[in-house]
């Protein structure tokens, strides 16, 4: 597609449930990034993929968070046993390679609300 597509755009879930957030990057972009943006804050880095492998997962807050990119294109961010503090907008971005000029394109995000 023309841009980075994220689905769903909104997700409401109950505390303790499992959720999956999907990111479809720009075709041909080998690098993919997940960020989390809480209300009134800037985006915070979660994980970076180069191809199928996670090049840097140092931003994942704990082991309830996991992300995969099995074929080097679509990525899924998975959150187990959700907590109210996980409520945020989850942003995905992609770029050609691991772009040294930081030419990322962000998607519109998934707004996750844990009630």
Partner 1 sequence: GQQLNQSPQSMFIQEGEDVSMNCTSSSIFNTWLWYKQDPGEGPVLLIALYKAGELTSNGRLTAQFGITRKDSFLNISASIPSDVGIYFCAGPDYGGSQGNLIFGKGTKLSVKP
Contacting residues toward partner 1, per CB under 8 A: 4, 31, 33, 35, 40-45, 48, 50, 55-56, 58-59, 91, 93, 98-104, 106-109
- Distance of closest approach, residue 104 Cβ to partner 1, in angstroms: 7
Cα 38 to Cα 56: distance, rounded to the nearest angstrom: 21
- Distance of closest approach, residue 71 Cβ to partner 1, in angstroms: 19
Q: Which residues contact 24 (CB under 8 A, 6 or more apart)?
A: 1, 4, 5, 6, 7, 73, 74
Q: Which is nearer to partner 1, 76 or 99 (CB)?
A: 99
CA distances from 29 to 2, 9, 26 (A): 12, 22, 6
Q: Which is nearer to partner 1, 55 or 115 (CB)?
A: 55
Cα 61 to Cα 110: distance, rounded to the nearest angstrom: 18
Structure tokens at 59: 């931003």
- Distance of closest approach, residue 76 Cβ to partner 1, in angstroms: 18
- Distance of closest approach, residue 91 Cβ to partner 1, in angstroms: 5
């Amino acid at each position: 597609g023309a841009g980075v597509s994220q689905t769903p755009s909104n997700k409401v879930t109950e505390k303790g449930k499992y959720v999956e957030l999907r990111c479809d990057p720009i075709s041909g972009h080998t690098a993919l990034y997940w960020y989390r943006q809480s209300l009134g804050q800037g985006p915070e880095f979660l994980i970076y993929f180069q191809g199928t492998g996670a090049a840097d997962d140092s931003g994942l807050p704990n082991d309830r968070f996991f992300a995969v990119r099995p074929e080097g294109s679509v990525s899924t961010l998975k959150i187990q046993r959700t907590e109210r503090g996980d409520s945020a907008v989850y942003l995905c971005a992609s770029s050609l390679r691991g772009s040294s000029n930081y030419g990322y394109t962000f998607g519109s995000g998934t707004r996750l609300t844990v009630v």
